Chains A and B, each alone.
Chain A
């Protein structure tokens, strides 16, 4: 059977700058994959290509057996690709609840009234219930990141793309986030998680994929990948805990 997600020989240039260079990657159903790489390596760009915010320069992207390379972002979302943005994009003048509800109403195939309960549950999961009626634009950065997660989950994704949601958290908060992501994974959602905080990543994912200059640098078991000489070279001083 085809993997749940496959990215095959994908490239993306911004003018003369080659950001993704003939990259291939796949994700099995039920898997949690961690993505690591230095700043500017092309990680967020890869998410934009998978989610349809950017068009590929070359290559194909498939979901199960379906080629989705030419589909717009909203169609990919409805097929089951949910994402969070590294720089949060809240609907600033809508309330937190309405933000989550919009995800449930358009990304998932529920009727509005049926999604209320799910939205309340997701706001509780992301600890935003007390802010439900507050304008999303007035949230702090960390709250916005949690809102990104709640809104993406509201679309009932098969695959959840998480782009640096752990930055800036205290140790306790980070531990809670790890538990939340684990719970989401345990509920059957496949996960691709970009994160610089290696110990958080390793606590959740079963496989690591390291990107450097838009190309694959290493891939495989998290510890083996972190110990490999090429990753050590790029990440001097950063160790798997």
Chain B
């Protein structure tokens, strides 16, 4: 431990790495390709991309919750459902045009997340997980009691509302495609910006040790609360876009734990929890498996489960964790490095 009097060595702080520049270039090309897709892709391509977009967005949000804030929620379907139903309510009952209704649906989800957080934040660990699931079930049951929103059997979106999205079928598909794209890219960008910021430093510290984070002045509870509300807000908007595309909603589908949470957990766990790159890798594996194995029905689900278990046992930080440990690569530059000159 050297004397303090000597002058400090010259240094600078680096945020980007070589791989992060490659990552940026790949992202830029991908965005350009995706923006141009309606001119050369078919309707099925558009729908698949939108699905991938909102799946990755849901995965990024769940990763922020579980991978960083330690909030292992199995109840994110609550906010997909609330977003979807808020869209139906706002457009049909309140007459709000669909696009602003998507943003408002996010706000509704975030507002309902406040009392939800008051309940579930009292619980820890496994009890928190169960609590989030129970709350989602309660929202599902309550929705089933609303006659104006189709009660238990659900309802379809009136033609007038989907006309408001676009006059022709092509126009509608294109608008929905861009909404999905903007939400998907926007979510990744927001998560990236957060993790790169000072608040991201707090969140990463919480990920690694809650006790130590508290001891150095990080307000763990407030940070977690902020993550929970952001996840609810964006999940609500995603739910709204998903059901604006599906055109039909019911409590069982909108609050489905498998579709909106279990698949997402699978993706994050396989890809690598606690990193931005992980959910991308997981989504790649998930959609790949589905593409090749969709015809095998139950076997597909069993294989999905088996892959998840094997990866959890062999690579606790998922496929991305294996790669990052070995090669020290980061496509999303959230870190800070000291370079002595």
Q: List chain A positions with a Cβ less than 8 A from chain B.
A: 51-53, 72-74, 77-78, 82-83, 85, 89-95, 97-98, 101-103, 105-108, 112, 116-117, 120-121, 123-127, 129, 132-133, 151-152, 154-155, 176-177, 179-180, 183
Contact = CB atoms under 8 A, between A and B. Distances in A.
Q: Looking at A51, A85, A103, which has the most chain B CB atoms within 10 Å of its CB?
A: A103
B264 to A, nearest CB: 22
A89 B211 contact: yes
Given A72-B219, A72-B221, A90-B212, 14 more contacts: A51-B215, A74-B215, A74-B220, A77-B215, A89-B211, A91-B209, A91-B212, A92-B209, A94-B335, A101-B201, A103-B216, A124-B9, A126-B1, A155-B217
Q: Looking at B204, B217, B218, B336, which has the most chain A CB atoms within 10 Å of its CB?
A: B217
A180 B337 contact: no
Given A121-B4, A124-B8, A176-B1, A107 B338 contact: no
Given A106-B202, A106-B216, A121 B8 contact: yes
B335 A183 contact: no
A90 B4 contact: no
B18 interface: no
B205 interface: yes
Interface string B24-53: 000000000000000000000000000000
Interface in B189-220: 198, 201-202, 204-205, 207-209, 211-220
Contacts of B336: 95, 97-98, 101
Main secondary structure of the interface of B (DSSP, over half): mixed
Contact of B337 (A51, A53, A95): A95
Nearest to B10: A120
Nearest to A52: B214
A73 B214 CA distance: 6
A137 B259 CA distance: 36
Q: Looking at A53, A95, A105, which has the most chain B CB atoms within 10 Å of its CB?
A: A105
Contacts of B209: 89-92
A94 B9 CA distance: 22
B13 interface: yes
Nearest to B209: A89
Contacts of A125: 1-2, 4
B245 to A, nearest CB: 37
A53 B211 contact: yes
A97 B340 CA distance: 12
B219 A74 contact: yes
Contacts of A183: 4
A98 B201 contact: yes
A74 B211 CA distance: 10
Nearest to A133: B337
Contacts of A120: 8-9, 11, 338
Interface in B298-341: 335-338, 340
B274 interface: yes
Contact of B216 (A107, A116, A123, A127): A107
Contacts of A73: 214-215
A183 B2 CA distance: 11
B205 A94 contact: yes
Contacts of A52: 214
A78 B202 CA distance: 14
A93 B218 contact: no
Nearest to A112: B198
A129 B218 CA distance: 24
Contact of A77 (B2, B198, B217, B340): B217
Nearest to B207: A93
B335 A98 contact: yes
A72 to B, nearest CB: 7
A57 to B, nearest CB: 20
A65 B91 CA distance: 58
Contacts of B217: 74, 77-78, 103, 106-108, 155
A106 B215 CA distance: 10
Given A73-B215, A77-B215, A132-B338, A102 B274 contact: no
8 contacts: A85-B212, A91-B208, A93-B274, A95-B337, A97-B338, A107-B217, A151-B212, A155-B217
Contacts of B2: 124-125, 127
A127 B215 contact: no
B47 to A, nearest CB: 37
Contacts of A103: 216-217
A92 B208 CA distance: 6
Given A74-B214, A74-B220, A183-B4, A102 B205 contact: yes
A106 B9 contact: no
Contacts of B274: 93
Contacts of B214: 52-53, 72-74, 77
A224 B213 CA distance: 39
Given A74-B218, A97-B336, A101-B336, A91 B205 contact: yes
B207 to A, nearest CB: 7
Contacts of A85: 211-212, 215
Nearest to A93: B208
